[in-house]
Structure formats: C-alpha cells, structure tokens
Structure 1
Amino acid sequence: MARTLWVVTHPEATHHVDGLVGGWYDSALTPAGAEAASAIAAELRARIPPAAEVELYASDLRRTRETATPLSAAFDVPPTLDPRLREKSYGEAEGRPQHWLRSRFVPPPPSGDRLTHDEGIPGAETKAAWAHRVYAAMTDILHSSCPHQIIVTHGGTLTFVVTSWLRIPIESAAYASFPPKPGSITTLTEDDFFHNRALTTLASTTHLG
C-alpha cells in the first residue's frame, strides 16, 4: 500500500517573538501562528483526497496541540498526542532568554561522539536521547497501515522524523540536520511496488503565502 506522511512543524509561537528558548517550554501560538495553522489545515485538506483515511499525531506541547486543532477539525479525527514527538529538551535553559543559552552552550565536536556530547546545560537531553525517543515514536506510528498520516512536531525534531523514515541508523544521523521555517510541511512518501521511501518535499512554506 502506498503511504504519505505529512510532517508539519508548528508555526510562530510566543517563545519565537519573545526571544526565549523553546524546547519543552510550553509556549502558545501567536495570533499569526494560529492563522498559519489554519492555512496548513486548508492546504492539507486540499491535497488529501476527501475519502482517504487519515491519522493525526502531535507532540503534546501547547503550540503543537494548537497547530493540530484546525487539522483535527478539517479531517474529523482526534489527534494522538505523543510526548516523544517533542522538541529537544534544553533543561534549565527552557523559557530563558536565548542569550542565556548561547553563553553557556558547549557545541558538539566536529568528529567523535556527537550523540552523547554534554552541551553544558543542566537537565538538557543529549542528541542520542532525543533521537531514540523520536525513532521510537515513529516506529509506533508506522505500525499503522493508514495511507495518510499527519505528524505535527517541532523544527528540530523534524530531522529525526525524516532520518527515521529513511531508515538511517541513529549512529549515522549524528550529523543530520533539516532546519525548517515555522509552519512548514514536509512530504514523505512510500510507493506500493518497490516500497521505496522518499523525501518528496522538504519544509515547504508556499501555503503561507
């Protein structure tokens, strides 16, 4: 069976405009972000056939729940909220000004062990912990045979959604990065003959005008 995953990154949230660290900080969509969420729902409603079966998954943080709300209404399906689809946790930095994080952040080495690198922020997740939980969420999502699955997540987490879809081992994803703009749609497809998996469109924002 052919399959399409529509991966949505939440649009503008209050931590963006306030210059605060996101992560697990539970910010809300701004009015502009809420308008973008409606545009995302309209775009996917136009692209997914009316009679198609659709499943909706979302991170459980407020900004992704609010992004999922118009999608839930457009497709008449409740979202499955999954904390494993959250953004990376930045521990004590969350909700603080970005300069607080920048002044303390220890960047990963250009080679060597990038996955378990300590970034110097108490309570922050390692890249390995972040990747493993996203891969686990994707394994559960892909157990379903539903032909259209919408995943509402965060900009950083998009990278591991894509690498898990392409079956790239976590150890090989240590350098991967697919940074999107807020409110983007990424399309992942699997054909019904070879069952090859493709990254069809990456972080498109044409629906935002």
Structure 2
Amino acid sequence: MIILVRHGEATHHTEHLTGGWTDSELTAAGKVQLQAVASKLAKDFAGQSRDLRILTSDLKRAEESARIIAARLGISKLEPYEFLREKNNGQAAGLTETAAKALYQQPPTLKELHHRNYPGGETRQEFYDRNVQGLIKCADLERENLLIVAHKGTIQNIIFHWLGLDIAAVNVLNFSVDILPSSVTVLGINKWREHAVFRLNDTSHLHTDSGYGIFEFKYGKYH
C-alpha cells in the first residue's frame, strides 16, 4: 500500500514565488488542510496494527505536512529524502514569479524531455529518474506500507511509474493526472496482483468526517 499526500498550501503559493526547490513553509490554511488529512487518516488507521513508513521530501512544506500526519498517527520516525523534492528549478528557486520570467528558457515544444527551463535546473527526464530511482532504492513498493508526503510533480512521477509508464511513454500518450494541495492518492497491489489506483487526488477531507476507506480496498496478501 502506498499513500501519497501532497503538502498543503504553502507560502510560495500566497507570496507568488516560484515553486520547485523554493523552500517555502505551510500557510495557516495549509496547516488546517493537513490537520484534516491527518484526522481522516487516523480514522482509517484506528485499530490497525500495520507497520507504516512515512517518507517525505526534505523541503519544509512537505516535512511540516508529514509531521502533522505522523503526530496524529502516533508515529515518531520520519524519513526525509532529497530525491522526493519537486522538480529542481535551479536559479529560479526563491524568486518571485515575475523575476523568474527573466531566467525562463522557452522549450521548442511542450513535449521536450531534455530541456532545462531554468539555468541549473533539471530536465523532465532527470526529474522523473531522480524520483523513481530514489524510491526504488529506498523501499519495496509492492510489499511495504508507505505514506509518502511530497509535491505535485513528484507524486505524478510515482503514479506514472506505478502504472508502468516511463516519462517517454507518458509524453507519447499525452497523459497526466491532477494532484491538488493536501490531496490523497492510494496505490496498491490488488488481489489479482495488479498495480491498482484505489484513490486519486482525493480532497474529501476538506468536506466530510469519514475516512478514506483505505482498508476496504481489495489488496493482495502483502497488505
């Protein structure tokens, strides 16, 4: 089982800074969003004795989000990793969106995999490889229960990999998924040994008091 949580609203959203490796923090609203996530996850995990690793991007907005969830679930250990960061925006990190425009290097097309939008930044291919290769080295995706707190692009890359798509295939298929702030996505192996997406971009915690139904899905025997 893999639970993917995007960090909540962050100061780069409200202060009109670039995202990427800008080390922004949660806003007051972002903290409320993550408390709602944590409360709903706690309903799912109540009475469960399953081991759960919490992995997080080491950027402040993600680590802070992960700490909120971990505290509510009674888990003391967090595992922060640089490989879970958002796409590296190089020299644009920390700049306003207006200032970053002066550094932006327009790609020839919207389908470039080896283009750097900003000096010192990553290409789309490098970003995907960093996320996926780091995660494969760090965890057994099919046998461990993981809660990963990260960023929109990172979560998208993990989902693509889970579906068996490398970034070139994603490009050819013209495929994407939306991942909103504080959203929850649940992946797992089902009883037919298939890679399943049980929930995608779920923000129902902002509207209801029930759990996500995480343990109602038809997982295989490892979960």
Q: 1:141 to 1:98 in 2, by over 3 A?
A: same
- Structure 2 alignment gaps of length 5 or more: 208-223
CA distance in 1, matches of 2:192, 2:86: 33
**Which residue does 2:85 correspond to in 1?**
86
**Secondary structure of residue in 2 paired with 1:203:** strand
User: CA shift at 1:135, angstroms?
Assistant: 0.6
CA distance in 2, matches of 1:141, 1:46: 28
* 2:39 maps to 1:42: yes
Q: How does 1:1-80 map to 2 (within 5 A)?
A: 4-48=1-45, 50-77=48-75, 78-80=77-79
CA distance in 2, matches of 1:22, 1:169: 24
Give the conservation status (yes or no) of the 8 Å contact 1:156–1:179: no
* 2:196 maps to 1:198: yes
> What code does the residue aligned with 1:126 have?
T
**Which residue does 2:188 correspond to in 1?**
189
CA distance in 1, matches of 2:182, 2:15: 18
**Which residue does 1:98 correspond to in 2?**
97
Q: 1:90 to 1:184 in 2, by over 3 A?
A: same
CA distance in 2, matches of 1:18, 1:184: 21
User: CA shift at 1:99, angstroms?
Assistant: 2.8
**Secondary structure of residue in 1 paired with 2:40:** helix
User: CA shift at 1:91, angstroms?
Assistant: 0.8
CA distance in 1, matches of 2:178, 2:138: 22
- CA RMSD in angstroms comes to 1.8
User: CA shift at 1:176, angstroms?
Assistant: 3.8
CA distance in 1, matches of 2:78, 2:6: 15
Give the conservation status (yes or no) of the 8 Å contact 2:105–2:116: no
User: CA shift at 1:105, angstroms?
Assistant: 4.1
- Structure 1 alignment gaps of length 5 or more: none
User: CA shift at 1:137, angstroms?
Assistant: 2.4
Q: 1:105 to 1:47 in 2, by over 3 A?
A: farther
CA distance in 2, matches of 1:99, 1:198: 40
